[in-house]
Structure 1
Amino acid sequence: MRQVLGIVSGQRSNRIGLDAVRVAIATIFIWIGGLKFAPYEADSITPFVANSPLMSFFYKHPDQYAQHLTHEGELKLAERAWQAANDTYAFSNGLGTVEIAIGLLVLVGLVSRRWGLVGAVLAFLTPVVTLSFLVTTPEAWVAALGDAQHGFPYLSGGGRLVLKDIVLMAGAWLVVADGARAVLEHTAQTSADRAGLGAPLATASRT
């Protein structure tokens, strides 16, 4: 057991864990970003965007969204037409492009800590916006339809998904810290080389 604990607590295990977090974050952003180009995903985020004071201006008629909601897998051409006129799909396509870019930057962090740091910072900031939906979006909570459990603290399906972004934020911060440390070490090594100090510092090889 002691040997196993020694292996798990070692530097190599720590590196594997951090790189695994990078891959996991990149997978989430790239996959979900890609789904943003599908109408059903664009429709599903309508309540969050329409109620957000930071994002509602992207829609032409954010105050009308509730009467045009559909269920996943459901096709109503009239509602699709309204969503298109509302710029729902144009916004979702733009958001998807941004999310894919963030995911790719985080993934690049496997070979370039500097670019990976940029992606990690963006990945950390994204949940700051999404977690605000818990405050601004009524649909994040179970509606009062007769059951005793509704409103706070009873999260709806959408609200539960949003809450999980706390884990994404925490993981992104670990990657931010790792990337910042690598960039600083690389900068120190470069300065030492220019000063002709000879002995290399303990720097990360991927910067």
Structure 2
Amino acid sequence: MRARHEPADELAAVGFSVLRSALVMNLLWIGALKFKPYEVDNIEPLVASSPLFSTLRQKLGAHKLARLIGVTEMTLGSLIAAKPFAPKASAVGSFGAVGTFLTTLSFLATTPEARQEGQKMWTPSITGQFLLKDAVLLGASLLTAADSLRATRR
């Protein structure tokens, strides 16, 4: 006897596919942009004020660091996309993306340009607003990790 699929289950399956595809697209595309000079300039305030990245930036230089970040993002995106034929690799990619987005969210605390000056409460600037979307990508990475781990048991 065939299991009956509820509309909510089908909607969830579509949602997971869209979520995984969007996460992959974000990582691949944003990773590829790290090879463009304007993107090196865009991330400069973030990496320069980060305790984690400022030392790497001094050792590698801005362009090489951006390329390293880009290659990492594109690798993670490719691994996440591999779920249909390599669910374990996809889970590894998703957990790597979790680390990536935790790191980029830390820029909210370390980058002065992420806050609007003169506000009584913490108010994100345009840079801060740009970083806040990584909370959604963090959630997507956790969900794709769980989905990939489930697929390894099938």
TM-score under structure 1 length normalisation: 0.67
Identity of aligned residues (%): 34
Please state whether the residue corresponding to 1:54 is helix, strand or coil.
helix
Distance 2:120 2:50 in 1: 18
Instruction: Give the whole-Å Cα distance in 2 for the aligned partners of 1:122 and 1:110.
Output: 18
Tell me the CA shift for residue 27 of structure 1. Answer: 0.4
Instruction: Report Cα offsets for 1:27-72 as digits up to 9, x if no partner.
Output: 00000000000011011111110111111002239xxxxxxxxxxx
2:141 matched residue in structure 1: 172
**Which residue identity lines up with residue 138 of structure 1 in the other structure?**
P
2-side partners of 1:111 and 1:18: how far apart? Answer: 17
User: Distance between the aligned counterparts of 2:19 and 2:85, measured in 1?
Assistant: 14
CA positional deviation for 1:151 = 6.9
- Paired residue secondary structure (2:19): helix
Q: C-alpha displacement at 1:94, in angstroms?
A: 1.2
Which residue pairs with 2:65 in the alignment? 91
Rounded Cα–Cα distance in structure 2 between residues aligned with 1:170 and 1:180:
15
Q: Which has the higher contact order (CA 8 A, sep 6+)?
A: 2
- Equivalent in the alignment of 1:59: 57
Contact 1:22–1:109 (CA<8 Å) still a contact in 2?
Answer: no
Distance 2:112 2:128 in 1: 9
RMSD: 1.8
Matched residue type, 1:163: L
- Paired with 1:25 and 1:92, the residues of 2 have a C-alpha distance of 20
| Ranges of 4+ aligned residues in structure 1 off by more than 4 Å | none
What is the distance in 2 between the residues matched to 1:39 and 1:119? 26
1:119-173 CA-partner distances (Å, limit 9, x unpaired) = 11111111110111111110101234xxxxx374211111101111110011111
2:128 equivalent to 1:159: yes
Distance 1:119 1:23 in 2: 13
- The answer to whether the 8 Å contact 1:120/1:175 transfers is yes
Gaps of 5+ in 2: 1-5
The equivalent of 1:121 in structure 2 is 95
Aligned to 1:194: none
Pairing partner for 2:47 from 41, 46, 49: 49
Residue 13 (structure 1) shift = 3.1
Q: Give the number of the structure whose alpha-carbon radius of gyration is greater.
A: 1
Amino acid at match of 1:31: W
User: What TM-score results when the alignment is normalised by the length of structure 2?
Assistant: 0.89
CA distance in 2, matches of 1:133, 1:94: 18
